[in-house]
Structure 1
């Protein structure tokens, strides 16, 4: 490029920084040229020899815009002393003379061929990366494993099934009620990850007990790469301080948002905090959510006569959220009324009458038998009697269900939905899930000290925790459980031991005693500690070298915490509620526990503690096996139980016999009735294993690493080998900040192996769904990188100078995000290879083969070639667009069919329920009809978009 090419007043564009807009030559001095960029209000000086600039010359028929915003169509062009004069019209017959000096500086060369003509083209590698990105995105979006690949979790069938079944729904509202230890938090995390990854949800609120806030924060980040922001009292106090600052002190802080819930996409807060602040409640309601999660939802009290303030608040928040996930104890542990209260939050239209719900439960066993026969024999193989029952239950809707793609599953779903807890309740039992350890109860009878007998506190409820009503120094000295604890811990050393007792005061006293008097390393863990203090205690306990041997927990303080790396549990006292016993054991007895769990149970002879131990052991078998019927049994034998703990020992044999009998009866009833019906819907093994196989296929392939290696090369990221399956990624000399989101300045150690990621939390788990990988893909598709490229190729069969155009098309469908049309109409990349005569050579020269044959052209040579081949390129672009157009209609028809298949059943469901439930409003049905109509309209406007071109010149 020599000096004579530049003339003051000419318009040029920088192909290294397109954001500058259209530049104008303002000075030429020696071997340097200076351009002003009015759009960016900047001036740049370049060495003429290697200036990254391209001359902008508009062709006849192209539209131009002047600096005052007027638009014209070019009719003729004249070169006057090196500066172009355009003769253009604005739709009238009069031609205007427009010097290029007067052209607007705001230009957008978004079309691939426009970028090529403007000199904004890339090397071959960038085009290959763009093509690969589109192909991978389309493949992944069509995969049944989408949204489930990126979590740092084991592939457990029941968790994968629930996550897929729930997360693929529009605005899911479900109750996750797996038994203790089956991983409800992971299930919720998988659902959140899927919904956020697929853009089905953008705004999420998680509400948990205060003790679980930090655990949720860490778990969501570590396992799912979800960065939640905690909203608490400190956040509001800081906001009040900011609002009080003057403009001079800090203008930005003074303008802080008034509603912190609106400023966060992923918000995490405690229910305790919300209940303490009416302002926070109002802000949370006003913010609006795509999805809300409530953990430990069984603590929300409700009855037909009254609801607790906490329940009413969650009910209001649930109404302000499209989707809702409730994590709760199993239904039989909380009672029918409490269980109904949870369901009422999820679907008030379906669950509006408690008595009707009670009556409905009586039908479960009958429905279960029919459902089982449908699954075994198929819909056509069932008896006339069963067919009549289906007609009675489903009415005229049965005909539409029989015509569904999978009639058996459609009929079963409708039965579960109309006559059970339907698709809103997921509950897996330990009996159905393999892989749990054995439990080994180790009781120790100890003499009751006179200290307790004299005070009469060895009987009644007080007898369970008599130490709480006497002097601390006295019970520490006289209660034989203390000396037994010290001796037992010494004998178990160095094994980790979790000690649980009912009250924080007991936990603190024991920890102080063990630490200072017995010389045993221990840590206390109770509700009076701050979240940070609790986390420190947990970390101190988990440290295998210098950590505590024993963690002394209170009942409330340990709720929701998991310590499966330990396998010794000491129950310093016993709770009155069987559910609490199951929760205590569940801290260790979880999926992932590899050892038999030793449950040490010291109790005082001849007291309430001995009665309670025998009731749990002989009446419920609650130590050796998971017990989900304990609360129900307790309700049935409450009188006998109370008499026994009050000292009427003669009542104990009858209590144990009645409890054992009732527990067995309830277990059989649940197995044949509600449990079986719910479990049909909670895990279909064949579906779960197919999903896991699909995930493993994605992981076993080296595609994600190969893709990222290519991307790192193009984007200037250096890659160093770390170890087997692991690399270190660091920004290199050519790296441009912001090109790769989630890339720390000092680099990132990554592993491509799930197993290694589970063992090494210090390594980032690279998958197609890691934010760094999705960030690279987003960077490629949203930028001009690889949109236009020029290459050379030598083929004996083609004469030198022959031109080919490789084009990449994708489907473009502008629509509101809420419609989530990408579910039905993916990008569907279409690759075409054409020559100047319009021949389609795509099959003759596939993309991979063509890549091997192409080589880069030096930029200076390429810049000289482009103006010469512009007419042929424009012709080939037209040919490619004509060949691409017929591919759109089949995609559009398929998407329309899927949309109708999703919205149609929901509309029919609401219409069917409205006939028996006046609480269903017409506007609820109208909403889905409007959504369907809007989706159909948007899909009818879908078009193909040219996303990239590579022009190949034969040498």
Structure 2
């Protein structure tokens, strides 16, 4: 486009109901400053965050980049900001500082914090313990609805539900906080629609991945905070990105506009000293009975997949369960037999059940004892987190550890939010072994533990990194140990040795992993689909090894493309004032 003035778009764009109306003689930004920001600054100088002097240094350690982000969000962005620090830099702490300051200045009469369901109670605990801020959570017994409390933390899916949606929308909220804001990047979802129709004066959105697939993601999130900042979606795309999205145009203009709403700190730009991460993959030779079972399941999966590709998900599940535990595999096999309408495969399935019954000793269970015993002897309270994908495996592992005299805690998605909080608290206080499903792999903080065991391995590397991120984050002051368990000559060894280690996923950031996966999935396949299809289509073990080697090469190429994307994203974020002093 030529002769195009974005300023005209911002002024003429029609704001939705949740934005204060603009006087014809004022620009939108001047109006925000004079009407909303005056409340933040009234009666108090804005040269510092005064409330921070009230905080207990033993409760929260305030880092320079966090204090700076809170200050800028309040006083340079007039209380509407996208906090986009990289993973692990403490965006929740930044919001806590913001809310504490607003409470100090009496500008937070009503606050709504929307989070993923599994993080609501954690938010509640952190704001109470670190900042002395009391919120009711929608999972509390005393919660009476969104029109009955002034300080609420709730899952966004609860807020958008038919039961509560109208009550949420009826209120004029002083402050809205939206965690994991990338979940509202799609304007066609109920989540996006809820935020779009909410009425609020101040808003703070959090996401470490403001751009996941394309710049339009960023446009949608920013437009919820500052409607009109970028004009219409089509104009934004045409003005800032060329047709193949490889070249950023009008870069200075984009940076200027993002600087009005977005704060992004990167790890290398902060003074945070993350501890080292040591990864140890331990491979074990399965027993003859385990080997026979693995081969039988693999043969069954191959044969069934060649006959009916519609069974893909359950066949993939069987292939994962056979290296996890006989109990997990048996659960699915029996369900499959109960549901089977045709009898063509019954004999094979019954044969697999017979092989399961032949297994007396589970190799991984015996080898896990070596790891946890070492921890019990050398680490305070012997704390270890053991991750598995399957509830049946979790039960069996927990039973075995209890029988050996360990203090064991089990964590899974079937627990209530309150139960989950109690489990984590007990694990911290009592020590021992926490055996968890992936229900804990997002958002939960467990820096008091520094040893993690991947009993079985998700094929998606993002899920692996999310597991590790529970203990390897700000507040972790010890070296982190990650143990991966794998049976030799099985799919999990191929995934570990020929994929994960070759592309070095254990030392990459979540942002880098996300970019690699995004590039792969743009081709129409997920990471897990790619692994499974190579597994079932290989004609021999040698072919399978070669196929996984080839996939590693493909992934390295995707990584190279991801680096180009990172250069593109850096072009977007380059030049941001990250809070460093000019002195």
Same fold (TM over 0.5): yes
Give the Å deviation of 1:540. Answer: 1.6
Matched residue SS, 2:514 = helix
Cα distance per residue 1:316-370 (max 9 Å; x no partner): 33xx122222222423556655554433432342354268438725699988xxx
Give the Å deviation of 1:184. Answer: 1.5
Match of 2:492 among 582, 586, 609: 609
Match of 2:399 among 496, 501, 512: 512
Name the CA distance, whole Å, in 2 between partners of 1:358 and 1:619.
Answer: 39
Name the CA distance, whole Å, in 1 between partners of 2:316 and 2:477.
Answer: 36
Whether 1:536 aligns to 2:416 is no
Match of 2:190 among 309, 328, 336: 309
Cα distance per residue 1:629-654 (max 9 Å; x no partner): 22332343455954444324222222
Q: Is 2:139–2:418's contact at 8 Å kept on the other side of the alignment?
A: no
Match of 1:284 among 168, 177, 181: 168
TM-score (norm 1): 0.45
Q: Which residue of 2 aligns with 1:435?
A: 273
Q: Which residue of 2 aligns with 1:150?
A: 54
Backbone CA RMSD of aligned residues: 3.6
Whether 1:453 aligns to 2:295 is yes
Matched residue SS, 2:434 = strand
Q: Is 1:452–1:458's contact at 8 Å kept on the other side of the alignment?
A: no
Q: Cα distance 1:215–1:492, how it changes in 2: closer, same or farther (>3 A)?
A: same
Q: Cα distance 1:195–1:362, how it changes in 2: closer, same or farther (>3 A)?
A: farther
Higher Rg: 1
Cα distance per residue 1:6-59 (max 9 Å; x no partner): xxxxxxxxxxxxxxxxxxxxxxxxxxxxxxxxxxxxxxxxxxxxxxxxxxxxxx
Match of 2:386 among 495, 499, 523: 499
Write the mapping of 1:796-945 to structure 2, written as runs, cut at 5 A: none
Matched residue SS, 2:457 = coil
Q: Which residue of 2 aligns with 1:734?
A: none
Q: Cα distance 1:149–1:366, how it changes in 2: closer, same or farther (>3 A)?
A: farther
Give the Å deviation of 1:615. Answer: 5.7
Q: Which residue of 2 aligns with 1:653?
A: 549
Name the CA distance, whole Å, in 1 between partners of 2:43 and 2:471.
Answer: 40
Q: Is 1:565–1:593's contact at 8 Å kept on the other side of the alignment?
A: yes
Q: Cα distance 1:481–1:171, how it changes in 2: closer, same or farther (>3 A)?
A: farther
Q: Which residue of 2 aligns with 1:268?
A: 153
Name the CA distance, whole Å, in 2 between partners of 1:233 and 1:569.
Answer: 31
Whether 1:360 aligns to 2:240 is yes
Match of 1:470 among 326, 330, 341: 330
Give the Å deviation of 1:283. Answer: 0.9
Cα distance per residue 1:116-148 (max 9 Å; x no partner): xxxxxxxxxxxxxxxxxxxxx999735424344
Q: Cα distance 1:321–1:443, how it changes in 2: closer, same or farther (>3 A)?
A: same
Q: Which residue of 2 aligns with 1:685?
A: 580
Give the Å deviation of 1:171. Answer: 5.3
Q: Is 1:501–1:572's contact at 8 Å kept on the other side of the alignment?
A: yes
Moved more, 468-477 or 437-446: 468-477
Q: Cα distance 1:428–1:458, how it changes in 2: closer, same or farther (>3 A)?
A: farther
Q: Cα distance 1:155–1:234, how it changes in 2: closer, same or farther (>3 A)?
A: closer
Write the mapping of 1:463-862 to structure 2, written as runs, cut at 5 A: 463-466=319-322, 467=324, 468-471=328-331, 479-494=362-377, 495=379, 496-515=383-402, 517-543=403-429, 547-614=430-497, 617-637=500-520, 642-646=529-533, 647=535, 648=538, 649=544, 650-667=546-563, 669-670=565-566, 672-675=567-570, 677-678=572-573, 680-681=575-576, 683-686=578-581
Match of 2:210 among 312, 326, 331: 331
Matched residue SS, 1:523 = strand
Name the CA distance, whole Å, in 2 between partners of 1:311 and 1:479.
Answer: 47
Q: Cα distance 1:230–1:653, how it changes in 2: closer, same or farther (>3 A)?
A: closer
Give the Å deviation of 1:521. Answer: 1.1
Name the CA distance, whole Å, in 1 between partners of 2:563 and 2:493.
Answer: 25
Q: Is 1:335–1:632's contact at 8 Å kept on the other side of the alignment?
A: no
Match of 1:296 among 180, 183, 191: 180
Whether 1:343 aligns to 2:222 is yes
Whether 1:190 aligns to 2:190 is no
Q: Cα distance 1:190–1:533, how it changes in 2: closer, same or farther (>3 A)?
A: same
Q: Is 2:181–2:221's contact at 8 Å kept on the other side of the alignment?
A: yes
Name the CA distance, whole Å, in 1 between partners of 2:501 and 2:196.
Answer: 41
Name the CA distance, whole Å, in 2 between partners of 1:582 and 1:525.
Answer: 18
Q: Cα distance 1:461–1:269, how it changes in 2: closer, same or farther (>3 A)?
A: same
Give the Å deviation of 1:489. Answer: 0.8
Cα distance per residue 1:409-437 (max 9 Å; x no partner): xxx7x65244xx44333333333334011
Whether 1:322 aligns to 2:201 is yes
Name the CA distance, whole Å, in 1 between partners of 2:159 and 2:42.
Answer: 42
Q: Is 1:164–1:191's contact at 8 Å kept on the other side of the alignment?
A: yes
Give the Å deviation of 1:232. Answer: 5.0
| Structure 2 unmatched runs, 5+ | 1-40, 303-314, 333-352, 539-543
Match of 1:167 among 33, 54, 74: 74
Q: Is 1:618–1:656's contact at 8 Å kept on the other side of the alignment?
A: no
Give the Å deviation of 1:165. Answer: 0.8
Name the CA distance, whole Å, in 2 between partners of 1:299 and 1:481.
Answer: 37
Name the CA distance, whole Å, in 1 between partners of 2:490 and 2:212.
Answer: 26
Matched residue SS, 2:175 = strand
Q: Cα distance 1:684–1:353, how it changes in 2: closer, same or farther (>3 A)?
A: same
Matched residue SS, 1:174 = strand
Write the mapping of 1:233-252 to structure 2, written as runs, cut at 5 A: 234-235=141-142
Name the CA distance, whole Å, in 2 between partners of 1:616 and 1:345.
Answer: 39
Name the CA distance, whole Å, in 1 between partners of 2:283 and 2:222.
Answer: 44
Name the CA distance, whole Å, in 1 between partners of 2:151 and 2:99.
Answer: 10
Q: Cα distance 1:206–1:489, how it changes in 2: closer, same or farther (>3 A)?
A: same
Name the CA distance, whole Å, in 2 between partners of 1:441 and 1:358.
Answer: 45
Q: Cα distance 1:146–1:615, how it changes in 2: closer, same or farther (>3 A)?
A: farther
Name the CA distance, whole Å, in 2 between partners of 1:349 and 1:312.
Answer: 17
Q: Cα distance 1:232–1:215, how it changes in 2: closer, same or farther (>3 A)?
A: closer
Name the CA distance, whole Å, in 1 between partners of 2:51 and 2:124.
Answer: 20
TM-score (norm 2): 0.72
Q: Is 1:564–1:592's contact at 8 Å kept on the other side of the alignment?
A: yes
Task: Give aligned pairs, total.
Answer: 475
Give the Å deviation of 1:582. Answer: 2.2
